[in-house]
Chain A
Amino acid sequence: MDWEALSFQVVFTLVAAFTAIVLVAPTLVILILSFTAEDSLHFPPSSYSLRWYAALLDANEIGDAALVSLKVALVAVTCSVLLGVPAALAIARGRSGWARWLDLLFMSPLILPALAFGFACLMLFSLVGIQPSLLTLTLGHVVISVPFVLRTTLASLSQLDPALLDCSLSLGAGPVTTFRRITLPLIAPGVASGAFIAFMASFDNVPVSLFLQDARTQVLPIHLWDIIQNQLDSRAASTCGVIIIVTILLMLLMERVAGFSSRVAK
């Protein structure tokens, strides 16, 4: 018996199992808690019901905030796909220095403190006299969602066989037709995966929204953050429950359509 190999296997597998459980457990705890029948949030609940989900039906503020978040995320992600995919094509083709600098610029919102960027945007908008609104929120969210779209699109472009493009061009198809018939169908799963992560990142963003929203355009994560910090209302749990269930369903759908998780893990 090789004790060294065994000890290595046991230690690594145990730590890995522990990490995997800790990774998933909090989401499960909230999901279970959201079905509590009690008034206070105590885990595990002594009895279960759908009362807090029913309470969501007339929680207008939560519904309004969710609607704002949905609108902003949808428009912002659409814009970042429309701007990001052409930019990814340019960066993937460009071999010179500027392509690397552009890549660095477009990816930097991922590394720079988002809160400082949100504050900087607020100063710009107030200087030119634009009040915080859906527009300012959306503009800020485009910047933070671009890196996600760009990263997965660039990854799919790097796996694209350039011979296919040469074939298409030499058979007489123009660059636009080649893009529409060859490139786009092949990179679509990558673009969709990036758009999905970008959508969730925008839907969940607090640091940038804090500076760019006003009282009428409060976004859902900030509204939830308020509830959790101040009164710890049980509807926070059922709202989280809805978010978790929708997220899991969307992810399963993306898994089917675009092979999502393997794309992100590559």
Chain B
Amino acid sequence: MASLRLAAPLGGFFALFFVVPLGLLLFTSTQAGRQIGGGFSLEQYAGFFSDTLNLSVLWNTLLVGAKATVLCLVAGYPLAWLTVRAPARLQSVLVFAIVLPIVTSVVVRTFAWIVILGRNGLVNTWILELGLSATPLRLLFSEAGVVIVLAQVQMPLMVLPLITSLQRIDPNLGSASAALGAGAWRTFFKVTLPLSVPGIVAGTILTYAACVTAFVTQSLIGGSRLLYMPMMIYQQALDLQNWPFAAAISVIFMVSVLLVIASLVAVSRTRAAQAAA
């Protein structure tokens, strides 16, 4: 197998610096006490699941990711739709605007949101001037703020797969639907939306995975009051040096994220099977 040999260097590198570390993570999570070498035990897992505070951190992390992903989908879908239909010039401007954030630092963009959402920030200045509220709103360090900023920061991951799948739809299908008497909204919900499901699934997976682990955005916008799983792992691993417990919550977090993604894929597959039947 000549071609397998070409993948061997990267395969070896990944075995050493990706698979082995993750195996070590799993091993450490099954150690008793606060250090590696404490002997096999599932006490770290038992400890995590017996405290409702930990469970609520896990639940909040998964939930805040889901909310941001839904916001990405609702706000991003029309942008993908417009980008596909726009004339060439506008299209390249829109694609540039969507791709630029991918290469622009997340730290930079999160910093921008602190300026925009802060107590004396742009949004609060407008709200006070328009008389919508008598006092500045608490946007920073709130869950709503985290959801909004996560959605903005990860938006391109949703929009790009959507553009790809919308481009693949035969435009004649829309015309056929219109010719058969369906209005624009009906055509959208009955033809365009179902055909773009592969893009929605791909975008949702990428966005969700990025949102739940977005350590920088979560900690800068959420502040110290809102605790999410990545920060919890960081605190246990580096501040408290409790590696077995940090490893256990890392494994729990990874498995939960993968379960959410797997169930998403499963649901979309059964839907596709039902549609085909």
- In the assembled complex, the CB of B97 is this many whole angstroms from the nearest CB of chain A, namely 5
B104 interface residue per 8 A CB criterion:
yes
Complex partner residue of A87 from B7, B183, B215, B253, CB under 8 angstroms: B7
Given A19-B76, A117-B22, A197 and B246 touching (CB < 8 A)?
no
Please provide the chain B residues from 7 to 31 with a CB less than 8 Å away from any CB of chain A in the complex. 7, 9-11, 13-14, 17-22, 24-25, 28
Q: Is B226's CB within 8 Å of the partner chain A?
A: no
Q: Which residues of A contact B25 (CB under 8 A)?
A: 116, 119-120, 123
User: Given that A19-B155, A110-B209, A115-B213 are contacting pairs, would A83 and B13 also be in contact in the complex, using a CB cutoff of 8 Å?
Assistant: yes
Binds B, one of A3-11, A54-62, A163-171: A3-11
Residue from A16, A94, A143, A236 in contact with B14 in the complex, judged by beta carbons closer than 8 Å: A143
A1-47 contacts to B, CB under 8 A, are 2, 4-5, 7-9, 11-13, 15-20, 22-27, 29-30, 33, 41-43
B160 and A117: CB pair below 8 A? no
Partner of A240, one of B17, B100, B111: B111
Q: Known contacts being A5-B183, A24-B100, A109-B18, is A207 close to B230, with CB within 8 Å? A: yes
Q: Which residues of B contact A116 (CB under 8 A)?
A: 25, 233, 250-251, 253-254
Give the shortest distance, in Å, between A39 (CB) and chain B (any CB).
Answer: 14
- The interface residues of chain A lying within 8 Å CB-to-CB of B14 are 105-106, 143, 146
**Which residues of the other chain, B, contact A196 by a CB distance below 8 angstroms?**
103
Which of chain A's residues have a CB closer than 8 A to the CB of B28? 123
Give the chain A neighbours of B6 by CB distance below 8 A.
86-87, 89-90
A57-70: contact bitstring with B at CB < 8 Å (1 yes, 0 no)?
Answer: 00000000000000
A113 touches B250 (CB 8 A): yes
Q: Which A residues lie within 8 Å of B220 (CB)?
A: 225, 228-229
Proximity bits, A91-129, B CB within 8 Å = 1, else 0: 101100010001001101111111111011111100100
**If A26-B109, A27-B108 touch, does A225 touch B81 (CB 8 Å cutoff)?**
no
Give chain A nearest CB distance to B38 CB in angstroms.
14
Evaluate contact between B121 and A43: CB separation under 8 angstroms: yes
Q: A251 CA to B28 CA in the complex, in Å?
A: 42
Chain B 240-277, CB-CB to A under 8 Å as 1, else 0, gives 00010011001101100110010000000000000000
> In the complex, A123→B37 CA distance in Å?
13
Q: Is B194 an interface residue (CB 8 A)?
A: no
What is the number of contacts between chain A and chain B, taking CB atoms within 8 Å?
Answer: 276
Interface magnitude class on chain B: 35 or more
With both chains docked as a complex, state the minimum distance between the C-beta of B69 and any C-beta of chain A, in angstroms: 14
On whether A115 and B116 interact (CB within 8 A), knowing A30-B108, A123-B21, the answer reads no
CB of B70 within 8 Å of the partner chain:
no
B115 touches A (CB below 8 Å): yes
In the assembled complex, the CB of A214 is this many whole angstroms from the nearest CB of chain B, namely 12
Judge whether B144 is part of the interface by a CB distance below 8 angstroms.
Answer: no
The answer to whether B209 touches A204, judged by C-beta atoms less than 8 angstroms apart, is no
CB–CB B185/A4 < 8 A = yes
A255 contact set on B, CB distance < 8 A: 96
Decide: A22 and B247 in contact? CB cutoff 8 A.
no
Within 8 A of B (CB), among A215-264: 221, 224-225, 228-229, 236-237, 240, 243-244, 247-248, 250-251, 255, 260-262, 264
Residues in B with CB closer than 8 Å to A22 are: 75, 152
Q: Pick the contact of B116 from A7, A29, A106 — CB < 8 Å?
A: A29
Chain A interface residues (CB < 8 Å from chain B): 2, 4-5, 7-9, 11-13, 15-20, 22-27, 29-30, 33, 41-43, 83-84, 86-87, 89-91, 93-94, 98, 102, 105-106, 108-117, 119-124, 127, 139-140, 142-143, 146, 196-197, 200, 203-204, 206-207, 210-211, 221, 224-225, 228-229, 236-237, 240, 243-244, 247-248, 250-251, 255, 260-262, 264-266
A-B contact pairs, 24 of them (CB 8 A): A5-B183, A13-B78, A15-B79, A16-B79, A16-B81, A19-B75, A20-B94, A20-B98, A30-B108, A43-B115, A43-B122, A87-B7, A91-B7, A94-B3, A119-B237, A120-B25, A120-B247, A121-B17, A123-B24, A206-B216, A225-B107, A228-B111, A243-B105, A261-B99
